[in-house]
Amino acid sequence: STWEVGEFYSLANRSRRTRRPFNLAVPSVGRMVRVFVYGTLKKGQPNYSHMINGVHGTSQFQGRGLTVEKYPLVIAGKYNIPYLLNNPGKGHRVTGEIYFVDDQMLQFLDEFEGCPNMYQRIPVRVEVLEWENKNSTSEGTSANKNTLECYVYSTTTYQPEWIHLPYYDNYDSFGKHNLLYVLRESRE
């Protein structure tokens, strides 16, 4: 079988720290894993080109999704960076995009997101809203509302005051918040 199996600590019950299996690999695609992007890597956002240019590995858009749990999605810092704070149960269910990525792209995303210092890559449950490839099913989904596990980049290393910033359910760098994301090449 091409399924890769790992373990993670249940985010839903942090106090007991129960272990349970998870599987983010896609058996029909091989060594690719699911990633859920909610910020500047989405279509139409400032860093989307990294997802499609092929220089950093392979990514395949699969569809749109919504986190099953609520999370605080904030825009913070002098560069207006979107952060998904790893504080499940607070905030909103967050809308984003589901991609299959290969090992090379996953390694690039880890570096791009400053993992593990700035962001941490964690598995989260995502409800599938739209699936791109109508000829295939979203393999690995559960019977519960068509949900699946995806990696997401969230952070536990944030400034305490960020928890009091406005929460968003769907990030758009060009949104009404007027907090335009500053590209890395434009930063001081």
**Spatial distance between the Cα atoms of 164 and 79, rounded to a whole number of angstroms:** 18
Q: Which residues contact 179 (CB under 8 A, 6 or more apart)?
A: 75, 80, 173
Residue 139 has φ and ψ, to the nearest 5°, of: -55, 140
Choice among 113, 127, 130, 139 that is catalytic? 113
What is the structure's pLDDT at 83?
Answer: 97
**Spatial distance between the Cα atoms of 127 and 129, rounded to a whole number of angstroms:** 6
Supply the DSSP string of 87-141, one letter for each residue.
-TTSSEEEEEEEEEE-HHHHHHHHHHTTTTTT-EEEEEEEEEEEES-TTS--TT-
Class of domain 33-132+144-161+169-180: alpha beta
pLDDT tens for 121-162 read 999 999 999 988 655 554 554 445 699 999 999 999 999 999
Residue-range domain boundaries for the chain: 33-132+144-161+169-180
> pLDDT per position in the chain (188 positions), as tens?
233 333 333 333 333 333 334 445 444 445 799 999 999 999 999 999 999 998 999 999 999 999 999 999 999 999 999 999 999 999 999 999 999 999 999 999 999 999 999 899 999 999 999 988 655 554 554 445 699 999 999 999 999 999 999 999 999 999 999 999 999 899 98
Cis peptide before 116 (omega within 30 of 0): yes
Active site annotation includes 113: yes
